[in-house]
Amino acid sequence: MSAKLKLEASDQEPANQEASNQPNMESERSGQEGPFAHGRTESKQSRSHATKKVIANAVAATWSYIFDKANAILNGTKQRFSNPVLASNAYRYLARQVVQDLMEIEGGKSLVFSSGTDMTTNSEVLLMFSHFLQDELSSSVIIIDATFKANGLTQLLKLGSRNGIMDILSTKQPTPTIDSVIYSLKENVSFIARGNSADHPVPYVTEQQAESIISELTQEFDYVIFQQDQIQMDTRYLPFAKSVDLVLVHLEERSTRISSYDEIKEVFADHQIYNTRYLLSEH
């Protein structure tokens, strides 16, 4: 807007300069035109002033509308994403639903949090879910970044340099103990990072390995949650999905494609994994 005003001002300057350089011509014209010349000049100036006023009012109204619209969008976004009551209720309900689904399981419970959307959103939702799972049930929770990639919760928390699940599962010796790679996020919420794939590659994972890790962690924590990317992307995900008590598949409204959803369901069905629940979040 300021550029336009400057441009208009620069257009007017030559005209004003030209008028000031020709006083004699104006004088002669005023003498020749007679008594009506002054009236016509005032009429032109009046029309010019009215036109400028209309333009100024229109510009002011336009900017007022734009600012009002922007504020409305901003306020709507804040209300949607930062309303603590709505977020709390949704995640607390999810926590209670998980308890209901796993009430027959004695001791620690194990879950896979499988993604059907982008991993940044998946990681954020997983963190919120874990927080309220611990808070609502006064339980101990541990999250394991079992994505085996650089796009999971490890990346979000900037813990890429820490040893983690890949170091434990690696065929390269020596391997660290589980206790040595557990990192505390907050009271009663712990985390195991992805680990260093370059130093400790994990070409495959067996069900025996998955069951051994699950057994050890469920003795120490009430809820053990393995984060995974889309199940069809990595065969190393399957042993964990088969071994846990429940698989939560995170889908995102208006983001997860129907074709991806169908592929996910097909993979689970082909490997006889039926203990699945689908969690739909809003983009």
What is the average pLDDT score of the chain?
78
pLDDT at residue 75, rounded to an integer: 46
Least confident of 40-54, 66-80, 151-165: 66-80
> Could you tell me the pLDDT band of residue 281, with boundaries at 50, 70 and 90?
confident
Q: Which of 242, 250, 34, 238 shows the shortest CA–CA distance to 129? A: 250
Give residue-wise pLDDT tens across range 19-71: 444 444 444 444 444 545 555 555 556 666 666 666 666 555 544 544 444 44
| Mean pLDDT, residues 206-218 | 96
> Could you tell me the pLDDT band of residue 142, with boundaries at 50, 70 and 90?
very high
Give residue-wise pLDDT tens across range 96-135: 999 999 999 999 999 999 999 889 999 999 999 999 999 8
Q: What is the token pair recorded at 201?
A: 């590659």
> Could you tell me the pLDDT band of residue 77, with boundaries at 50, 70 and 90?
very low
| Mean pLDDT, residues 235-255 | 92
Contact status, residue 190 vs residue 164, Cβ threshold 8 Å: no
| Mean pLDDT, residues 134-163 | 92
Neighbours of 176 (CB within 10 A): 14
Cα separation, 24 vs 126, whole angstroms: 82
Give residue-wise pLDDT tens across range 165-192: 999 998 778 888 999 999 999 999 999 9
